[in-house]
Amino acid sequence: MASRSARSRPKVIVTRRLPQAVEARMAELFDVELNLSDTPMSEAALADAASRCDVLVPTVTDRIDAAVFAGAGGRLKLCANFGVGVDHIDLAAARAAEVMVTNTPGVLTDDTADMVMALILSVPRRLAEGEKLVRAGEWQGWSPTGMLGHRITGKRLGIVGMGRIGRAVATRARAFGLTIHYHNRHRLPDALEQDIEATWWDNLDAMLARVDIITLNCPHTPETHHLIGASQFAIMQRHAYIINAARGEIVETNALCEALAAGRIAGAGLDVFEQEPAVDPRLLAAPGVVLLPHMGSATFEGRQAMGEKVIANIRVWHDGHRPPDQVLEGWA
Ligand code: 8YV
């Protein structure tokens, strides 16, 4: 493969602020343009950036659609996403424009699984409510019937999407005494399934009807868009909780709000939303709901590692090799 290294340093445009050490290293290696204000770029600014660089480094807050690729005019060759999910990038348009796409898998698995676990504990045990009570100065002291929630141990956890993050959630959940059920396109290898004593459900709805806590850990793709809607909420158990730290678009927000309002399910723990950063006011008002600002992977260590992966992908690509985290169309 012909090396691109003989050419001058690649022009790299980064759409948001990255950890300081990552930006500093990028400045050493590349002809880099940083977004020092950290303001999300408009569609016009993204299109302009794409036409002026060899490598674009976007994040989940950028919509890299067909217009951006079409307007790039052939210079853009690599879209090195800072993040694992690539649903904000039109992969078919990238392929048509001959732009390679990479992401940052693996390095945010544990952090995201920890956050899922935190929500699994927070919602049934009413952590956010309890904290609010104390801070508001309204706590009247311990009582035998005060702040009762539901026990975690012994409950059935239904994991939708058994990739890296789903499996990391399963391992943690086992330690908390949950039994593991999962729905995934492919069944896990026997050894892995036995290791976590997991039950595979070919049929999503059949699993949803049987589990106590549901966690969504699949990528957002055309197949998983609104995977959980009114008919899924209708078959869940009334005491069930739903946790989403994957993508807001996997759940039909209106159906979720209606299910919560009607007591169709007991509560929800959400780290992601359909129209981020907007949050449906009905979710803000609903009891039994814990809301977080898309912070699943927000650790210093994780963000640093994500930046290093972006740099590694750009360098390998620039050296004329296939970058380690190339995203293939249809896969996240
Ligand atoms: C990232 C995420 O921080 O990587 C992902 O898919 O959802 C987040 O945890 C974000 O996407 C960065 O672009």
Residue 247 a catalytic site member = yes
In Å, how far from its chain's centre is CA 45?
A: 25
State the Cα–Cα distance between residues 214 and 180, nearest whole angstrom: 10
In Å, how far from its chain's centre is CA 88?
A: 12
CA 332 / ligand 1 centre spacing (Å): 12
CB atoms within 10 A of CB 110: 18
State the Cα–Cα distance between residues 259 and 242, nearest whole angstrom: 11
Q: Which two tokens stand for residue 218?
A: 């699949």
State the Cα–Cα distance between residues 17 and 188, nearest whole angstrom: 38
Residue type, 227: L
Domains of the chain (ranges, CATH numbers): 11-107+299-318 (3.40.50.720), 109-291 (3.40.50.720)
Nearest atom within ligand 1 for CA of residue 296: 9
Which DSSP string corresponds to 70-83? HHTTT---EEE-SS
Cβ(302) to ligand 1 under 6 A? Answer: no
Cβ(84) to ligand 1 under 6 A? Answer: yes
State the Cα–Cα distance between residues 251 and 273, nearest whole angstrom: 9
Cβ(296) to ligand 1 under 6 A? Answer: yes
State the Cα–Cα distance between residues 320 and 96, nearest whole angstrom: 20
Cβ(59) to ligand 1 under 6 A? Answer: yes
Ligand 1: residue whose CA is nearest its atom 7 = 85
Which pTM does this prediction carry? 0.95
The string of pLDDT tens digits covering residues 245-275 is 999 999 999 999 999 999 999 999 999 999 9
The string of pLDDT tens digits covering residues 92-116 is 999 999 999 999 999 999 999 999 9
pLDDT in tens, the chain (332 residues): 556 655 689 999 999 999 999 999 999 999 999 999 999 999 999 999 999 999 999 999 999 999 999 989 999 999 999 999 999 999 999 999 999 999 999 999 999 999 999 999 999 999 999 999 999 999 999 999 999 999 999 999 999 999 999 999 999 999 999 999 999 999 999 999 999 999 999 999 999 999 999 999 999 999 999 999 999 999 999 999 999 999 999 999 999 999 999 999 999 999 999 999 999 999 999 999 999 999 999 999 999 999 999 999 999 999 999 999 999 764 43
